[in-house]
Amino acid sequence: MTDCAPSSTPRQVGNHHDPAPSNHHGNAVLDEDAQIIAAVRNGEQEAFGQLVVRHGDRLYASLFQLSNRDPELAGELTQEAFIRAFERLDRFAGHSSFFTWLYRLARNRALDILARRRPQALDDAILANNAVDERRPDAGLEQSETAQVVHKALSRLEAWQREIILLRDFEDLGYPDIAAALEIAEGTVKSRLNRARQALRQAMEDMGGCP
């Protein structure tokens, strides 16, 4: 095994593969969202608060990572997205999940802002000070060298590259959901994801890490 091999126990290669990507947010979640949305449409606007509770953290975390861990920008984008969602709820047809729609409302503005910024790697101090989430059993992974290199390389990518990788690996969205969020075809999702992953490997290599 070379120095670049991960220190964690490798899975067996050759006769096992992960299940196909899928959205871990099941139908029950979608049904509950649909009920809440119906209530808001019927005039119970306070029910919208439930959507904020249900999806606020997830959207904020996603935008936090997309914006290279900028809490102010993530907060601003999250607020804007929810307000726009509230104002346009009549137009939500339910063909995609509420979260996907919400994310779509946020992403154009996010990418527009991020496009004006030069890609900038995260500061080592920020990475070192990352708090470990003790609620997750795999939280220690963040402290590994590989994880830090990945995080840093991710921050050097262009926003669209970081976005599609985050949607797949951070949000655990399946290809159909990513296609809906980005409004592109599934085939395009795969090709863009491959290019983004290639850029990530290259960035890691440039940083002297393992690709």
4 sits near another protein (criterion: CB under 8 A): yes
* Residue type, position 94, single letter: G
- Judged by CB under 8 A, the residue of 29, 30, 32, 75 near another protein is 75
* Whole-number Å distance between alpha carbons of 142 and 139: 6
CA distance 188 to 179: 8
Q: Judged by CB under 8 A, does residue 38 bind another protein?
A: no
If one asks whether residue 181 binds another protein (CB under 8 A), the answer comes out as: no
Of 28-36, 82-90, 117-125, which segment contacts another protein by CB under 8 A? 82-90
CB-neighbour burial class of residue 43 (10 A; exposed 0-12, middle 13-18, buried 19+): exposed
Angstrom distance (rounded) from CA 143 to CA 124: 12
- Our CA angle for 10, 130, 115, nearest 5°, is 95
Return the residue of 21, 34, 70, 119 that touches another protein, per CB under 8 A.
Answer: 21
| Interface positions, 39-58, toward another protein (CB under 8 A) | 40-46, 48-49, 52-53, 56-58
d(CA 211, CA 209): 6
CB of 46 to another protein, least distance (A): 5
Q: Kindly indicate which of the ranges 27-35, 117-125, 189-197 contains the residues binding another protein, using the contact rule CB under 8 A.
A: 189-197
The site map against another protein for 128-167 (x = CB under 8 A) is --xx-x--x-xx-xx-x-xx--xx--x-----x----xx-
Question: What span, in angstroms and rounded, lies between the C-alpha atoms of 6 and 144?
Answer: 10
Q: Does 172 bind another protein (CB under 8 A)?
A: yes
The site for another protein, by CB under 8 A, has a size of: 93
CB of 59 to another protein, least distance (A): 8
How near is the Cβ of 132 to another protein at its closest, in Å? Answer: 8
Structure tokens at 153: 């390389």
* CB of residue 26 to another protein, shortest distance in Å: 18
Q: Are 89 and 105 in contact (CB under 8 A)?
A: no
What is the closest distance, in whole angstroms, from the C-beta atom of residue 37 to another protein in the complex? 10
Q: Give 158's contacts (C-beta < 8 A, 6+ positions apart).
A: 119, 199
- Is residue 102 near another protein by the rule CB under 8 A? no
